[in-house]
Amino acid sequence: MTALDTLRGKYIEAIASAADEAALEEVRLAALGKKGEISLKMRELGQMSPEERQTTGAALNRLRDEIDASLRARKQGLADAALDARLKTEWLDVTLPGRPRRAGTIHPVSQVMAELTAIFADMGFAVAEGPQVESDWFNFDALNIPPEHPARQEHDTFFMARAEGDNRPPHVLRTHTSPVQIRAMQAQGAPIRVIAPGRVYRMDMDQTHTPMFHQVEGLAIDRDISMANLKWVLEEFCRAFFEVPSVELRFRASHFPFTEPSAEVDIRCSWEGGQLRIGEGDSWLEILGSGMVHPKVLAAAGVNPDEWQGFAFGMGIDRIAMLKYGIPDLRAFFESDLRWLRHYGFAALDMPDLAGGLSR
Ligand code: 2NL
């Protein structure tokens, strides 16, 4: 065995057993670095005879190339092994099903407000809005509600506090959305067709009443608007809202300070098997109050009652929401009763994880 064979064996073995790139670099320096064993041997060629230099030089070149190739191959092998090791630990199962997200759902009252807004929009009614804290003039006086009326006697109405020594009449939490319509008439005059949906407040709290509830009022003023127009608009609304082919309404004479004449409106229904059906049967359900706007109310809102007339109505939104969606009592609104959501087949309820987490 020649000296070069021994050298070759030593480095091929060292390369094969280098455990990482740093060890491999040490082997490279020991063999091929400036002061490496192969490099030193190459420097010795200068002292050799021409014949010896030729054979030894060629052999040294081959050995250097072989070691170099071996180093590169081992380097690549180590890199491949490192990548394999990473791939074994850093993996992601892209076939896993997604984790269901808890989705919210629209509140029944918001849903019903959107529905009725769309129905009245089709009949040419715009939506009007106004403050929930009102002056007593807009909430009462403009609506022909006299100071001695029970609603103004402390117990029905939330009065806002005034600063010490401020003796002006207190503001109130609006008890109906009528003041919104007074403001709309003041702002745009007649003719006008608006609805005013929103929150209203009354000091009332029992099984069927909450101190804050939702109301929608409607107002149509023109030169010759009549009770007949009122009846058609309300029938059309009920048909569309309750999604039945026909409805029958019953007008009962009534009294409101802000309308003359006034009527309470009932809708024909049946309660067979505890299930409400609108549009058929022998029962009647009161759904709203209405009438022809009182001339004094028109005048207070800056509309000339000798030139203009029209109808107005007011209806509780919470109650018609409960009727339409079969919500049995007010707690459904506060505890988000899932029966209401199921009625609609909400997608969120089809997620096993979610349905399990929200069992009620
Ligand atoms: C009810 C009765 C009603 C009105 C509201 C109204 C508004 C103006 C002028 C005249 Cl600006 N009237 N609103 C009229 C009749 C009845 O509500 O029982 N609501 C739940």
Number of alpha helices (DSSP H) and beta strands (DSSP E) in the chain: 13, 10
Ligand 1: nearest atom to the Cα of 179: 11
Q: How far is 9 from 110, CA to CA, in rounded Å?
A: 85
Q: How far is 127 from 117, CA to CA, in rounded Å?
A: 7
- For residues 321 and 113, the answer to whether their CB atoms sit within 8 Å is no
Q: How far is 335 from 313, CA to CA, in rounded Å?
A: 30
Question: Of residues 253 and 46, which shows the higher confidence score?
Answer: 253
Which backbone phi and psi does 273 adopt, to 5 degrees? 60, 35
Averaged over 176-190, what is the pLDDT? 98
Q: Is the pLDDT of residue 199 over 90?
A: yes
Candidate ranges 84-88, 149-153, 221-225, 275-279; pick with highest mean pLDDT:
221-225
Mutate to test the pocket of ligand 1, among 313, 319, 323 (most ligand atoms within 8 A of CB): 313
Pairing of β 126-127 and β 192-201: parallel
pLDDT of residue 22: 92
* Spacing, Cα 269 to ligand 1 middle (Å): 24
Which backbone phi and psi does 197 adopt, to 5 degrees? -90, 150
pLDDT of residue 332: 64
pLDDT of residue 76: 95
Q: Whose alpha carbon is nearest atom 17 of ligand 1?
A: 314
Q: How far is 101 from 136, CA to CA, in rounded Å?
A: 47
Query: 266: how many CB neighbours lie within 10 A of its CB?
Result: 17
- For residues 169 and 136, the answer to whether their CB atoms sit within 8 Å is yes
- DSSP-derived secondary structure for 279-294: TSSSEEEEEEEEEEEP
Averaged over 186-206, what is the pLDDT? 95
* Spacing, Cα 275 to ligand 1 middle (Å): 30
Q: How far is 173 from 276, CA to CA, in rounded Å?
A: 34
Nearest alpha carbon to residue 356 among 95, 96, 100: 100
Q: Is the pLDDT of residue 223 over 60?
A: yes
pLDDT of residue 118: 97
The whole-angstrom distance between residue 360's C-alpha and the CA centroid of its chain comes to 22
Averaged over 288-305, what is the pLDDT? 98
Q: How far is 150 from 157, CA to CA, in rounded Å?
A: 10
* Spacing, Cα 290 to ligand 1 middle (Å): 6
* Spacing, Cα 196 to ligand 1 middle (Å): 11
Residues in the chain: 360
* Spacing, Cα 257 to ligand 1 middle (Å): 9
**Known binder of ligand: residue 13?**
no
- For residues 348 and 103, the answer to whether their CB atoms sit within 8 Å is yes
- Show the ligand 1 pocket: residues with CB < 6 angstroms: 178, 181-182, 215, 217, 219, 256, 258-259, 289-291, 293, 297, 312-316
Q: Is the pLDDT of residue 283 over 60?
A: yes
Mention every residue, 6+ apart, whose C-beta is less than 8 A from residue 180.
Answer: 128, 129, 130, 174, 196, 198, 217
pLDDT tens across 301-327, in order?
Answer: 999 999 999 999 999 999 998 888 777
Q: Whose alpha carbon is nearest atom 7 of ligand 1?
A: 178
Query: 334: how many CB neighbours lie within 10 A of its CB?
Result: 8
**pTM here?**
0.70
pLDDT tens across 235-273, in order?
Answer: 999 999 999 999 999 999 999 999 999 999 999 999 888
Which residues on neighbouring strands pair with residue 259, listed in sequence order? 256, 293
Average pLDDT, the chain: 89
